[in-house]
Structure 1
Amino acid sequence: MKNASKEFLVLNTVTDYTRFCGLPAPAHPLLTLIDLEQTRRNVLPPDLPPVVQQLYTVWVKKNLKGKVHYGHQSYDFGEGVMGFMAPGQVSAFDATLDITQLSGWMLVFHPDLLRPYPLAGKIAGYGFFSYQVHEALHLSAQEENLLDGLLAVIRGEYERPIDAFSQDVLVAQLEVLLNYANRFYHRQFLTRRTAEHDLLSRFEAQVTAYFAQTGEAPLPTVQHFADALHVSPAYLGDMLRALTGQSTQQHLHHALIEKAKRLLLTTSLSINETAFQLGFEYPQYFSRLFKSKTGLTPAAFRFSAQ
């Protein structure tokens, strides 16, 4: 097995991150605020390995010329966009990346900053931390100005000497910023209706085709449809909730139950055979799901239609 340290550059602490950017040590051990214009003088080595950061990052980047790779996708930051990364995610940089005109800001914080606060549990609910970069948030001028104002408050606290209230204030302001980002993402889903409705149409077509198959097929997963549509599961789920009020799993369960009803009413398959045809390994799981969605067991549903 190859040594993982030779394949990835791992950034475990905020200090690791500032050192990687060629910047002074952070003023706070668990959080730093970076003016991206300060990083312009840095030149990325051509053999820079993929970077794994065990940190959260929130950024607004402008005028970054070239490609940043994130997972299996890449994104051009020529326009100003807001993006997010969670601990354990991997990014890589094109050797031709030009940062000579880069501007914007980046907020980097360690998970330990949040541990004493409710935000530590809540942050998993912000789907944008699992988005692929090509799903970044495009800000309006008004939204960008609002975020800059919030950032000024965070910067003021960050630059103060640390006292007993520093972490409370920083985490509270960080939560406000994330809540606004959540609002802006929801706005993006609503204002980009043409693109999102096209994605919704393609999702529905994929689901229809999947459940139109005859014979046994494995139970469909959210990941399967996200991969087929070239988006992340979180993005797909947020789009569906914004446009339909239902999660991806709820859509799949609805289609599954509708197919189950057709099989129960139009074939002589036993309940167990119906379950296997739908992809259930254990028939009792099928019966349990069917009853939770319809109020009847599969056998009672079949009998009621006679």
Structure 2
Amino acid sequence: MRGTTASPDTPCAASRRGEPPVHRLEVRLPDDVPFAVGSFDTIGPMSRATFPHRHTFYEIVHVTHGTGTHVVDLNRWELRPPHLGLILPGELHHWEDVHGLDGSVVLFTPEFLVDHPGDQDLLRRIGARPWLRLDPAEHTRTGRLIAELSEEYGHGHSGFATVLRSLLHVLLVRTARLGGPTEPAVPPGRPASVADAFTRLIARTDADGAAAGPRSVRQCAELLGVTPGYLTATVRAALGRTPAGLLREARTREAQRLLAHTQLSIRQVAARTGFDDPAYFCRFFRRETGMSPGDFRKHHDHRAASIEADPGSA
């Protein structure tokens, strides 16, 4: 399929030793459009991967048939189609004990959303409830819209990227509605753009797909060209949370992923999440989760045997 993801012989980009593999989106030439849509079969074998891996792109799945479980980070979603699900960049996911999996897959990078910057906020809201069971009417509407995306993508006529972005925007708006009442609108103007840029910043992944966002409010403010006080006020107004709290949440979530899905030592997990002192990392993790890193790993051990650990890990 033209514009699909990585081929079967090279399904993932190389990742750091001991960490889950990273999947990147190959763009369609000559247009360089970072978008793909198709069935599980046409997108390729990685769309049904049974081992934990992460993406540098967004993935929307419309599951029409199948049994088994979809695992995203520490959440396990039993398949009772039809479903609509979202996997965010950096999240670890895989399919477990799945039979007869069928449906559609929509893939796109954050850069693809250039025409609709507000879609970042929609994706954040959908990400709070990323696995939805559809009623018959919702299922029909979703399937019809994804079919339009697939048709436009397959033809590749002049201006197709703009049409794809518009159809994707409609899909995101409708999906956000399915999650329940919409949140209050973000105040217009610069505060909204700063809050949106902040959420993208802390969700940023590095070249290996691992979390690579700034580690402090001051660092974030400097990168965004505002003062820490202004950043705190605008993020609180737009999102109802403080930047410091969201940063702690992002670091904790990445540490949980690495503890549950890799064989990295606790010292290595601390280093990967920006802690120079493993003892401080353990105190931080216990304060945020109520468990030590070691106890958390015992309760949430989903490490894949195929993932190789670093030699000489502490």
Which category describes the TM-score, using the shorter chain as reference length? 0.3 to 0.5
More helix, by proportion? 1
Give me the TM-score of the superposition, normalised by structure 1.
0.48
Return the structure number with greater relative CO, CA threshold 8 A, min gap 6.
Answer: 2
Structure label with greater radius of gyration: 1
